[in-house]
Structure 1
Amino acid sequence: MEGYDDHLERALEESPDIAGSGDRFGVPDAEVRQEGNVTVYENFQDTLDRLGREEDHVLKFLQDELGTSAQIDESGRARLTGKFGRDRIEDAIGEYSEKYVLCSECGLPDTRLEREQGALLVRCEACGARSATPDE
């Protein structure tokens, strides 16, 4: 006959792990290369898929954060005017994640952006928290 400790141990083993801080939460490393005076962010679409955000919103943030202009090419790669290293782009994506993806209450990335009375909010589907985003 199983005791309390056995039940508790089995329950803990079968429970999903949600206690993470969401730190980086598996965003792929940026694959970048230089093409003259342009930095090509090869796996931009993979990053978008992981962030769960709109291409235009992430691209605008990158442009503002890096102080450059950018566009999406026919293959879905981000083409940033200027020379930017992988670390610089990853730092910018990390900033984006902190501001627009990770819940400020529970730290999980299970969020979506919504507009309410003109304000852009991050709504967490895990804990229900809503928080305002920085001015756009």
Structure 2
Amino acid sequence: MLDQAIEESPEIEGDGERFEVPDPDLRQEGNATVFENFQSVCDRLSRADEHVMQFLQNEVGTSGHIDESGRARLTGEFRERRIADALDAYADAYVLCPECGLPDTKLKDEQGATVLRCEACGAQSPAGP
């Protein structure tokens, strides 16, 4: 039975390095902070840009929107470290598996709750802070 379980286990790719969220590329434009590489960060996290944007707005306490070119515009002036910390918090809450630590997860809605399902180890856990 152990041999069968090993055969049916998914192969976990990677070299064991820690998953890293790309650094935000920010610039000030009037009273707004423009997150230039927002779309590429969302792609790296494999999450919907609206979900990441909502989390950022709540985390830094501001409003904002995503423009037609995929950049995020946040009302106010924010430093890169503040946005990077918020993105790390997002990855911990909604991307990285709490069991194996890999980013091979999907968000699923089950019975009104958001669940983080890991495709590498099969674990399921509540998503969010």
Instruction: Give the TM-score category using the shorter length.
Output: 0.7 to 0.9
The 5 A counterparts of 1:55-94 are 55-94=49-88
Question: How far 1:27 sits from its partner (Å)?
Answer: 2.2
The answer to whether 1:123 aligns with 2:117 is: yes
Question: How far 1:36 sits from its partner (Å)?
Answer: 1.0
Q: Which position in structure 2 is the counterpart of 1:97?
A: 91
Question: How far 1:32 sits from its partner (Å)?
Answer: 0.1
Question: How far 1:16 sits from its partner (Å)?
Answer: 4.9
Q: Is the 8 A contact 1:100 1:122 kept in 2?
A: yes
Q: Which amino acid aligns with 2:27?
A: R
The 5 A counterparts of 1:1-136 are 16-17=13-14, 19-20=16-17, 22=18, 25-134=19-128
Q: Is the 8 A contact 2:107 2:127 kept in 1?
A: no
Secondary structure of the structure 2 residue equivalent to 1:113: strand
Q: Is the 8 A contact 1:26 1:50 kept in 2?
A: no
Q: Which amino acid aligns with 2:70?
A: G
Question: How far 1:17 sits from its partner (Å)?
Answer: 4.0
Q: Using the aligned pairs only, state the percent identity.
A: 58
Q: Distance in 1 between matches of 2:24 and 2:128?
A: 24
Q: Distance in 1 between matches of 2:128 and 2:106?
A: 15
Q: Radius of gyration: which is bigger? A: 1
Q: Distance in 2 between matches of 1:76 and 1:69?
A: 16
Q: Which amino acid aligns with 1:126?
A: A
Structure 2 unaligned spans of 5+: 1-11
Q: Which amino acid aligns with 1:49?
A: D
Counting matched residue pairs gives 118
Q: Calculate the aligned-residue CA RMSD, in Å.
A: 1.5
